[in-house]
Structure 1
Amino acid sequence: MLPDMPLLLAFVGASLMLAITPGPAVVYIVARTLAQGRACGLASVLGVALGNLSNALGAALGLAAVFAVSSAAFTTVKWAGAAYLVYLGIRMWRTALPVTDATPQVLAQPLRRVFRDGFMVALLNPKTTLFFAAFLPQFMDAHGNPLMQTVALGGVFVGIACCTDVLYVLMASLVAPRLRRAAWSGRWGNRLAGTSFIGLGVLTAMGTRPAR
């Protein structure tokens, strides 16, 4: 299912460079971590990873071809993803819970809902499917099964991205306690995260370049 070792190593190197570069997913995950803690950040990583893996599977099954030829399908999914991000941002603004080291709400955040939100944010990004359709074939064996290779390489890429995203969560979780102790924090932590989500939603709606 995977290409020969030299080609696989080239794929891993290229994937690592792409994964470590901050993008919309990293902004979303870091905002979650700063506002709601490490556990929510890690739950977001898992949700985003599953959403991206689903997009890789969609690329393998030809969904990318549908998006490429049907602007209506692409636009519908893109706007759905943008609307979901804006919805999450508004929800964060309306919640606006004070965030401190002793705040029980930070620890009591429903991780299942955070996981679901991350999954939906990643899944409703058709540009990710197009990215996989454009990037993965460059490292495939011409004599191999394209469906299985797309799924396998997509899984490797998502695994690498998951590892780098976890590093971002760990770094953000080191900064978060200091931010929570700052005089301007509290309610503004959730509001800043909500603003980030709304901004990502606007960028998603306006963007045209495939991106993770």
Structure 2
Amino acid sequence: MKKTELAARFQHACACVTAAEQILTEIDSKFGDADHGLTMNKIAGAIAQAIEESEGGIQSMLDDAAMAVMVLNGGSAVPLWNTWLDGMQEAAPAGDEIDVPGLQAMFAHGFEALDDISGAKVGDKTMMDALIPASQAIAAYTGQDESKLFTLAALAAHGGAEATKQFTAKFGRAKSYGEQTIGTPDAGATSMALFFQGLAQS
């Protein structure tokens, strides 16, 4: 896969998140600060602009995206997304091409970086409910088709985000609402699933 195609997939991912700003705000307004839609719109916009303007290889492109997110003012999502992107760039190739093993290494490193600071597991009703299954799907893929890899990751992320409706919030402001949070999906998991949905668009 060329850098141009990967960049296009990231642009689709950002567009998916941006288009869902109102939905994300609505979800977050029930038990959170009602700012997740706005924050994710900022994050997606920063990533999209950085990727469009980046002139280096794949590693440089992801580094630019991570830096663009890092300087934003926003909710708790900002440092989390910065950490994920920064982890990915550390394992990304410096050149303009990446294959399936390269993508697997990149996403595995991004997940490890975020997992180190997050502490959240599947069932805790956070963005990790979407990222963990997506990362596992990427790691488990044995083929050589990059499009199939992203499709499987998107399906896993979507399933993980949907499952958060059944969980009680364990983190953030929503934690204080306990079992009242059952029935509502997690905003962070939803935005992560939307990002992977966009990555699956070639």
Q: TM-score, normalised by structure 2?
A: 0.31
Structure number with bigger Rg: 1
Higher helix share: 1
Q: TM-score, normalised by structure 1?
A: 0.30
